[in-house]
C-alpha cells in the first residue's frame, strides 16, 4: 500500500515532538527537514532510533540546496558537502536525498551541465546504495518547472537519480500536469503534496507561508494526483506544508489534520488508484439541517434564557422525565436547555460558561457518519445513558462541544421528554438559518477540513470583516440544499469581539444562532410585544442604506425603528436583526431571505461595532 508521509517542517515543536505527533496521527513515514535536525539536541542515530521505536520510516532527508550547475571551486565543494550529507543519511537510515533546484546567482544554466552534475552525484550515491531526487522550486534560478527538472534527470540517465514532484511547485505557477504522464513512475522518487489558497503574492512568500493541506486551499491537487496515478508511481505521498499557523499550532492536531486530508484525497482518487486505499471511507452522509441545539446553563441562567426564548416566541414544549432539561420549540427549531449538575453539559457549562454545548444534525444515516468520522480520526463521544434512554452517536466538535447525529432512529430523541401543554399559535420563526462559531484564527483551517471532510458541506469564499479592534476572517460552509450552514469566525487580532469571546469569555464555541422567518417585521413586532429588545444600530448606517438603495420611505422607517439591517445581492434582499448579547457569551439573529444566499457580510462590521459598544471595554479585566 502507498505510504503516507509528512515533512517535519509542517509541524510546530522540537523534532522529537514532531515525530511523536506524526506517529500518533498514524503516518507511516516522514521527511526529515535539515533545520529540524540541526537545531535538535540529539544526533542522527538517536533520531533513527526514535523513528524505529515509533515505527516511522524516514523516506527522505531534505533539502540540499544550490547543487547543480555551479562553477569551480563551488562545484567541488558541493560534491564534498554532498558526501557529508550522505554520511548523515546513513546514520539516519534514509536512502533518499532531496535536492531542490539552484537559486544561487552564481549558478550557471544549461540542461546538460546540470545533467552531468547529477550523473556524477548518482555514481557517488550508488556506491552507498543511496538515491537523489531533484525537485524544481517554482523560483529556481534556471530550473523552475518540473518538466525541466525531469529533462535533466532523463539526461543524467542514472538509476540513482530521479525526479521529485511537488504539487505546489507545479500547480501554483499554473503548469499543466498532463506532461507528468510521460515520466515513468519508477523515475519519480517522491511525491510531495500541498494545497494553497489563491493569493496575489510573489510565489516564494506564497509557498513559504500559505501552503495548506490538500482540501484546505484552492489548487487542483486532485488533478495533480490523477496525473501522478497515471505514471504508475508507487512511492510515498508526503505532505510538505510551510504554513505560519501550522508552525504555531498544536503539532498533534496538525498531524491529525494532515492524515485526514490525505485520506480524503485518496478517497477522491478511488477507484482510479485502488492501491492507495487503506480503510475504505464511508460515503458522505446527506445532512438535513439541525435536529436540535443544546444549551448548557445553570439554574439561574436557565431562568434568564427561558425569559429570552419566550420573548422570541419559543414555547416550552417538553420537560425531561428525570433531568433538569427543558425543550423549547418554534417552527422547526428545537432547543434543549440543560441545567443538570453533572454529565457532559454541566462540564461544558463549568469550563465555558452558558452556551451551546451540542448541536444535533439530521442525517440520512448516523451509523455511516460515525464510521466516516472515525476513519477520519474525529474523536467520538460516549456518555453513559440511563435505562430506556436513547444513546445518540456523537463526535467532538469546535471548542469541546459535541455534534450529535440523528437519523430515523434518532428522530426519537425526545422520548425522554414529557410534553408540556402550551398555547397553539402561528410561529414566526421557521428554522435554524445558520450557526456561527468563533475560534482562534489558527484553528480555522482545521475546522474547515473537519466540516467539509466529515459532512457534505462545501465552503464559500472567505470574507474579511472589520471589527473596531481588528480584522475578523469569516468562512461559511453549507450543504447542498442549504438546510445546514455553519459560519466559522476567527481573528488573530486579540481585541476583536470573536477573539475576546475566546480569550475572556471561556473559549471557542457558538457565538450566535440565526433563525429564519417569513416576515421579519411581523416577527419583530410580535417579539417586541413580548418584551424583546434588539441590538441598537446607529442612524449613520440607515442614512447610508437610504443613499445606496432607493428603498420606499415606509420601509426605511421600519428598518430604522426596528434596528433591522438590510443587504442586497443582485435582485436578492436580506433582512437581519440581533438580540443583545446573552451573558457576554452568545446572541440570536433573526433573518429574512428573499432570494439571497449570503450572510450580510456588508453589515457584519456594523453589528460588531454595535456589540463592542455593549460589552465591557476591551481593556477591563474580568472580575
Q: Which residues bind ligand DHB (CB under 6 A)?
A: 62-63, 98, 100, 135, 137, 166, 192, 207-208, 240
Q: Least Å distance between CB 146 and ligand DHB?
A: 11
| Binding partner of 414, given Mg ion, ligand DHB, none, CB within 5-8 angstroms per partner class | none
| Binding partner of 208, given ligand DHB, Mg ion, none, CB within 5-8 angstroms per partner class | ligand DHB
| Binding partner of 140, given ligand DHB, Mg ion, none, CB within 5-8 angstroms per partner class | none
Counting Cβ atoms within 10 Å, is residue 314 exposed (0-12), middle (13-18) or buried (19+)? Answer: buried
| Binding partner of 263, given ligand DHB, Mg ion, none, CB within 5-8 angstroms per partner class | none
Q: Where are the alpha helices (DSSP H) in 403-505?
A: 444-454, 497-503
Residue with cell 442549504: 482
Q: Least Å distance between CB 168 and Mg ion?
A: 7
Q: Which is nearer to ligand DHB, 192 or 231 (CB)?
A: 192
- Among 220, 229, 175, 168, residue whose Cα is nearest residue 194: 168
Q: Which is nearer to Mg ion, 140 or 354 (CB)?
A: 140
Q: Which is nearer to ligand DHB, 34 or 340 (CB)?
A: 34
Q: Which three cell numbers stand for residue 215?
A: 482540501
- Sequence-separated (6 or more) residues with CB below 8 Å from residue 621: none
Q: Which is nearer to Mg ion, 243 or 339 (CB)?
A: 243
Q: Least Å distance between CB 60 and Mg ion?
A: 10
Which pairs count as long-range contacts for 203-211, CB under 8 Å and 24+ apart, including other chains? 203/138, 203/139, 203/172, 203/173, 204/138, 204/139, 206/172, 207/138, 207/139, 207/168, 207/169, 207/172, 207/242, 208/242, 209/242, 209/243, 209/244, 210/243, 210/244, 211/168, 211/240, 211/241, 211/242, 211/243
| Binding partner of 276, given ligand DHB, Mg ion, none, CB within 5-8 angstroms per partner class | none
Q: Which is nearer to Mg ion, 192 or 508 (CB)?
A: 192
| Binding partner of 401, given ligand DHB, Mg ion, none, CB within 5-8 angstroms per partner class | none
**Which residues on neighbouring strands pair with residue 591, listed in sequence order?**
516, 576
First vs last C-alpha separation in the chain = 57
| Binding partner of 516, given ligand DHB, Mg ion, none, CB within 5-8 angstroms per partner class | none
Distance of CA 440 to the CA centre of its chain: 12
| Binding partner of 137, given ligand DHB, Mg ion, none, CB within 5-8 angstroms per partner class | ligand DHB
Counting Cβ atoms within 10 Å, is residue 377 exposed (0-12), middle (13-18) or buried (19+)? Answer: middle
Q: Please provide residue 7's backbone torsions phi and psi, each rounded to the nearest 5 degrees.
A: -85, 140
Q: Which is nearer to Mg ion, 241 or 293 (CB)?
A: 241
Task: State which residue has the least CB distance to Mg ion.
Answer: 166
- Among 608, 623, 600, 577, residue whose Cα is nearest residue 493: 608
Q: Least Å distance between CB 192 and ligand DHB?
A: 6
Interface residue list for Mg ion (CB under 5 A): 166, 192, 240
Q: Where are the alpha helices (DSSP H) in 386-434?
A: none
Q: Which is nearer to Mg ion, 192 or 475 (CB)?
A: 192
Residues 130, 122: Cα–Cα separation, whole Å: 8
Q: Least Å distance between CB 67 and ligand DHB?
A: 13
| Binding partner of 259, given Mg ion, ligand DHB, none, CB within 5-8 angstroms per partner class | none
Q: Which is nearer to ligand DHB, 4 or 352 (CB)?
A: 4
| Binding partner of 529, given ligand DHB, Mg ion, none, CB within 5-8 angstroms per partner class | none
Residue with cell 515520466: 183
Counting Cβ atoms within 10 Å, is residue 211 exposed (0-12), middle (13-18) or buried (19+)? Answer: buried
Q: Which is nearer to ligand DHB, 10 or 287 (CB)?
A: 10
Task: Answer yes or no: are the C-beta atoms of 148 and 135 closer than 8 Å.
Answer: no
Task: Answer yes or no: are the C-beta atoms of 399 and 439 closer than 8 Å.
Answer: yes
Q: Least Å distance between CB 166 and Mg ion?
A: 4
Q: Least Å distance between CB 45 and ligand DHB?
A: 24
How many Cβ atoms are within 10 Å of 512's Cβ, its own excluded? 22
Q: Least Å distance between CB 452 and ligand DHB?
A: 25
Q: Least Å distance between CB 249 and ligand DHB?
A: 20
Q: Least Å distance between CB 211 and ligand DHB?
A: 9
Q: Please provide residue 334's backbone torsions phi and psi, each rounded to the nearest 5 degrees.
A: -125, 125
Task: Answer yes or no: are the C-beta atoms of 236 and 2 closer than 8 Å.
Answer: yes
Q: Which three cell numbers stand for residue 263?
A: 485520506
Task: Answer yes or no: are the C-beta atoms of 151 and 113 closer than 8 Å.
Answer: no
| Binding partner of 489, given Mg ion, ligand DHB, none, CB within 5-8 angstroms per partner class | none
Q: Which is nearer to ligand DHB, 237 or 281 (CB)?
A: 237
Task: Answer yes or no: are the C-beta atoms of 227 and 177 closer than 8 Å.
Answer: yes
Residues 547, 19: Cα–Cα separation, whole Å: 59
Q: Least Å distance between CB 97 and ligand DHB?
A: 12
Q: Which is nearer to Mg ion, 235 or 509 (CB)?
A: 235
Q: Which is nearer to Mg ion, 163 or 360 (CB)?
A: 163
Q: Which is nearer to Mg ion, 100 or 357 (CB)?
A: 100
Q: Least Å distance between CB 197 and ligand DHB?
A: 17
Evaluated on CA atoms 19, 20, 26, 28, the torsion sign reads: positive
Q: Least Å distance between CB 473 and ligand DHB?
A: 25
Amino acid at each position: 500500500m502507498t505510504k503516507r508521509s509528512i515533512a517535519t517542517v509542517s509541524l510546530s515543536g522540537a523534532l522529537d515532538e514532531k515525530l511523536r505527533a506524526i506517529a500518533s496521527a498514524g503516518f507511516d513515514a516522514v521527511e526529515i527537514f535539515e533545520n529540524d535536525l540541526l537545531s535538535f539536541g540529539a544526533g542522527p542515530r538517536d533520531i533513527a532510533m526514535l523513528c524505529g521505536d515509533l515505527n516511522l520510516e524516514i523516506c527522505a532527508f531534505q533539502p540540499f540546496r544550490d547543487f547543480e550547475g555551479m562553477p569551480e571551486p563551488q562545484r567541488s565543494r558541493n560534491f564534498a558537502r554532498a558526501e557529508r550529507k550522505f554520511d548523515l543519511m546513513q546514520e539516519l537510515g534514509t536512502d533518499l536525498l532531496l535536492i531542490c533546484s539552484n537559486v544561487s546567482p552564481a549558478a550557471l544554466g544549461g540542461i546538460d551541465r546540470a545533467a552531468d552534475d547529477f550523473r556524477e552525484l548518482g555514481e557517488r550515491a550508488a556506491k552507498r546504495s543511496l538515491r537523489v531526487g531533484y525537485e524544481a522550486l517554482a523560483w529556481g534560478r534556471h530550473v523552475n518547472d518540473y518538466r525541466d527538472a525531469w529533462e535533466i534527470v532523463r539526461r543524467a540517465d542514472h538509476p540513482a537519480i530521479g525526479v521529485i514532484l511537488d504539487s505546489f511547485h507545479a500547480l501554483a505557477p499554473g503548469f499543466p500536469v498532463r506532461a507528468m504522464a510521460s515520466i515513468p513512475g519508477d523515475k519519480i522518487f517522491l511525491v510531495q503534496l500541498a494545497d494553497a489558497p489563491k493569493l496575489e503574492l510573489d510565489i516564494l512568500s506564497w509557498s513559504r507561508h500559505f501552503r495548506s493541506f490538500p482540501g484546505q486551499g484552492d489548487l487542483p491537487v486532485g488533478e495533480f494526483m490523477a496525473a501522478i496515478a497515471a505514471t504508475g508511481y508507487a512511492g510515498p505521498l508526503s505532505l510538505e506544508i510551510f504554513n505560519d499557523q501550522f508552525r504555531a499550532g498544536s503539532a498533534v492536531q496538525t498531524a491529525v489534520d494532515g492524515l485526514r486530508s490525505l485520506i480524503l484525497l485518496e478517497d477522491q482518487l478511488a477507484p482510479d488508484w485502488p492501491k492507495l486505499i487503506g480503510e475504505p471511507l464511508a460515503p458522505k452522509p446527506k445532512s438535513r439541517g439541525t435536529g436540535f441545539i443544546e444549551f448548557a446553563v445553570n439554574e439561574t441562567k436557565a431562568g434568564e434564557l427561558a425569559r429570552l426564548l419566550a420573548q422570541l416566541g419559543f414555547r416550552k414544549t417538553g420537560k425531561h422525565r428525570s433531568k433538569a432539561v427543558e425543550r423549547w420549540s418554534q417552527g422547526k427549531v428545537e432547543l434543549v436547555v440543560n441545567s443538570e449538575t453533572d454529565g457532559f453539559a454541566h462540564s461544558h457549562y463549568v469550563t465555558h460558561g452558558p452556551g451551546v454545548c451540542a448541536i444535533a444534525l439530521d442525517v440520512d444515516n448516523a451509523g455511516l457518519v460515525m464510521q466516516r468520522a472515525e476513519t477520519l480520526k474525529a474523536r467520538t463521544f460516549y456518555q453513559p445513558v440511563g435505562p430506556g434512554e436513547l444513546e445518540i452517536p456523537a463526535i467532538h466538535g469546535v471548542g469541546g462541544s459535541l455534534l450529535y447525529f440523528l437519523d430515523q432512529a434518532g428522530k426519537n430523541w425526545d422520548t425522554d421528554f414529557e410534553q408540556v401543554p402550551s398555547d397553539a399559535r402561528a410561529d414566526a420563526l421557521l428554522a435554524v438559518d445558520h450557526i456561527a462559531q468563533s475560534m482562534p484564527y489558527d484553528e480555522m483551517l482545521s475546522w474547515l477540513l473537519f466540516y467539509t471532510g466529515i459532512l457534505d458541506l462545501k465552503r464559500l469564499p472567505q470574507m474579511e470583516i472589520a471589527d473596531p479592534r481588528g480584522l475578523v476572517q469569516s468562512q461559511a460552509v453549507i450543504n447542498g440544499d442549504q438546510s445546514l450552514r455553519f459560519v466559522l469566525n476567527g481573528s488573530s487580532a486579540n481585541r476583536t469581539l470573536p477573539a475576546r469571546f475566546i480569550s475572556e469569555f471561556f473559549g471557542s464555541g457558538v457565538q450566535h444562532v440565526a433563525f429564519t422567518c417569513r416576515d421579519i417585521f411581523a416577527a419583530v413586532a410580535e417579539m417586541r410585544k413580548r418584551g424583546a429588545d434588539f441590538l441598537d444600530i446607529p442612524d449613520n448606517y440607515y442614512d447610508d442604506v437610504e443613499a445606496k438603495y432607493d428603498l420606499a420611505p415606509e420601509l426605511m422607517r421600519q428598518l430604522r425603528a426596528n434596528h433591522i439591517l438590510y443587504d442586497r445581492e443582485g435582485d436578492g434582499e436580506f433582512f437581519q436583526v440581533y438580540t443583545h448579547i446573552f451573558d457576554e457569551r452568545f446572541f440570536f439573529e433573526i433573518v429574512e431571505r428573499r432570494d439571497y444566499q449570503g450572510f450580510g457580510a456588508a453589515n457584519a462590521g456594523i453589528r460588531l461595532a454595535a456589540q463592542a459598544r455593549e460589552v465591557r471595554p476591551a481593556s477591563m479585566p474580568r472580575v
